[in-house]
Structure 1
Amino acid sequence: MRTRFPPDRKLTGRMLLTTFLLGLVYVAFAAALFALLKSIVVIVVVAAILLGAQYFFSDRIALTGMRARIVSPEEQPRLHGVIDRLCASANMPKPRVALAETDLPNAFATGRNTKRAVVCVTTGLLRRLDNAELEGVLAHELSHIAHRDVAVMTVASFLGVLAGLVARFAFYTQMFGGGRRNGDQVAIMVLLITVVSVVVYAISFLLVRALSRYRELAADRSGAMLTGRPSALAAALTKVTGDMARIPTRDLRAAEAFNAFFFAPAVGSRLSALLSTHPSLEVRLTRLAELSAGMGEPSA
């Protein structure tokens, strides 16, 4: 089903290029391991099992990790009402709706497809945002679902982690299965596999983070265009980011593992924008301001 979320050609082009480069990295990684180990069957089997588990159970993993529960329209009429209106406007199926009892102001979407999709909102977010701001955030999350961002990022991020896992597995395979290799040959093999793994992990990590930032900007744009109010999304971003500073550090650190899912990161990167899952607040607000001006949205 085609939704009414408008495409962003430039961002789509950047995402396709990043995905293409990521694919090249893994083709090279598989070729290197095949050349070193003379077999790729084990690699494919391990990859299939781990990818399948993460892909098919991503919604359960995320909801369990956030201690969230599915809520009915009777329990959360405001939340369901906003999502009902947005889904009708976007011409897309309504996802399941979940609530996490935490003061951390955030939201995320998960699930491998529209049938398994879930939009989760925290009680902290509901308490802080007015209806227009909440609508902006939920439109952003529904854009992720419509564009299958969860599945794309699951596959992309999985491969980076797999680089390290396969390298270690290959090491033990050689240790216990390569009977004719002497100690020096094993040491050289381990060194080569380690170097390949480190290089592949580093490159893939940067590419996946870049892909994540592009998809966040695309979700900002398409969500804001669906509601027709980029300023409301900008206000929500500003409010959520500011209030995050007042959340206890231990709670932010506990939620950091979900940064790639969240509307706004619980803990931002202090090292470099290259390491962040999200664009900076300044970049997002600038893009939304440009969109607002282009749409002729009246100033608040």
Structure 2
Amino acid sequence: MSKTRFRSDAGLTRRIGVVSLGLVALYLAFGAVLITVMPSALMAAVVVVALAWGQWYFSDKLALASMRARIVTPEQAPELHAMIDRLCALADMPKPAVAIADTDLPNAFATGRSPSHSAVCVTTGILKRLDAEELEGVLSHELAHVAHRDVSVMTVASSLGLLAGFLIRWAPFLGNNRDRNNNGALMFLVVWIASMVAYFISFLLTRALSRYRELSADRAGAYLTGKPSALASALMKITGEMGRIPSKDLREVENMSAFFFATPAFSRDSLAGLMSSHPPVEKRIDQLARISADLGRPL
């Protein structure tokens, strides 16, 4: 985590370490299968890793382009810039670029490979629905993601899943020349099964880390502003409004959902809870209630 006034999170650090060790072990095992069974796929692996690096390096530009967001100046959005200026001064961190996405979807996200190369984006939908304190709570959450370098961590953590998914889809086409010998079909079956296993385990590890990083950003943002009730109110409004957004509109931004402040509410005991990039809203509200009690303020 960068040196800011956001509270340090030993739990997040531990989880990043555990997930990293698990992914390293998975990388080594997966690489051994590729080298032993399908050496010609190594060039494909290099290409995918290069794509993952590009996704990390240009993450801010790619994310903003995906949402059709525009960078805004202090003259174009004075209140939004003033709020981020105050929070960055409070957190003692570099100010990110400020962007607005023209969509009724009420949400926000942070992106960028480092605190000095980052952007915070809000939608016109969230600007219409939240009051100043609620919006400040959401922005403090997003700035905590920047300080935690969450985009970098999640991009690196998900790169194995990207590689495995690539091979699942393209392995049969990458080695047509091997199909001429008797072992060709068996080799590709082994690679395909190994890719499926690697993708599934990588998916579960990164989803678990993603859910915890959302809780960590909630904690850091609430303690920074000292107003967990405002963050809880924003969370309730946004998850409620997300449930009213047409499914076709949600599908258009599905590739960005892991980076959003909130996603549509779901039961904490459902399969969606296990697969989601965000924790259940009830769990986030419960945590904010505990922070309110810690600060001596009712939620």
**Normalising to structure 2: TM-score of the pair?**
0.92
Are positions 1:152 and 2:150 aligned together? Answer: no
Letter aligned with residue 158 of structure 2: S
Residues 272-291 of structure 1 correspond to what in structure 2 (within 5 A)? Answer: 272-291=272-291
Structure 1 residue runs of 4 or more that deviate by more than 6 Å after TM superposition: none
* CA-to-aligned-CA distance 1:139-195 (integer Å, 9 cap, x gap): 00001111110111112123202112245555444322x4xx744210111111111
* CA-to-aligned-CA distance 1:238-289 (integer Å, 9 cap, x gap): 0111111222221122122211110002586963311000000001001111
Report what 2:293 is aligned to: 293
User: 1:238 aligned to 233, 236, 239, which one?
Assistant: 236
CA distance in 2, matches of 1:291, 1:98: 30
Is contact 1:11–1:214 with CA below 8 Å preserved after alignment?
A: yes
Residues 108-123 of structure 1 correspond to what in structure 2 (within 5 A)? Answer: 108-123=109-124
CA distance in 1, matches of 2:12, 2:242: 28
**Normalising to structure 1: TM-score of the pair?**
0.92
User: 1:188 aligned to 186, 189, 193, which one?
Assistant: 186
Is contact 1:164–1:198 with CA below 8 Å preserved after alignment?
A: yes
Q: Secondary structure at the match of 1:112?
A: strand
CA distance in 1, matches of 2:32, 2:149: 29
CA distance in 2, matches of 1:282, 1:7: 24
Q: Which runs of 5+ in 2 are unaligned?
A: none
Letter aligned with residue 186 of structure 1: G
Shift of residue 15, structure 1, vs aligned partner: 3.0
Report what 1:223 is aligned to: 221
Shift of residue 27, structure 1, vs aligned partner: 1.6
Letter aligned with residue 49 of structure 1: A
Is contact 1:30–1:40 with CA below 8 Å preserved after alignment?
A: no
Are positions 1:210 and 2:211 aligned together? Answer: no
CA distance in 2, matches of 1:50, 1:84: 34
Percentage identity across aligned positions? 54
Report what 2:139 is aligned to: 138
Shift of residue 23, structure 1, vs aligned partner: 2.1
Q: Secondary structure at the match of 2:98?
A: strand
Shift of residue 115, structure 1, vs aligned partner: 2.5
Change (3 A) 1:164 1:74: same
Change (3 A) 1:249 1:169: closer
Is contact 2:134–2:231 with CA below 8 Å preserved after alignment?
A: yes
Report what 1:15 is aligned to: 16
Question: For the aligned residues, what is the CA RMSD?
Answer: 2.0
Is contact 1:71–1:97 with CA below 8 Å preserved after alignment?
A: yes
Shift of residue 230, structure 1, vs aligned partner: 1.1
* CA-to-aligned-CA distance 1:197-226 (integer Å, 9 cap, x gap): 111111111111111101111111111111
Change (3 A) 1:267 1:194: farther
Change (3 A) 1:272 1:244: closer
CA distance in 1, matches of 2:248, 2:171: 37
Letter aligned with residue 288 of structure 2: L
CA distance in 2, matches of 1:248, 1:160: 29
CA distance in 1, matches of 2:176, 2:240: 52
CA distance in 2, matches of 1:288, 1:15: 22
Letter aligned with residue 185 of structure 1: N
Report what 2:92 is aligned to: 91
Q: Secondary structure at the match of 1:272?
A: helix
CA distance in 2, matches of 1:78, 1:266: 28
Change (3 A) 1:272 1:224: same
Q: Which runs of 5+ in 1 are unaligned?
A: none
CA distance in 2, matches of 1:169, 1:127: 44
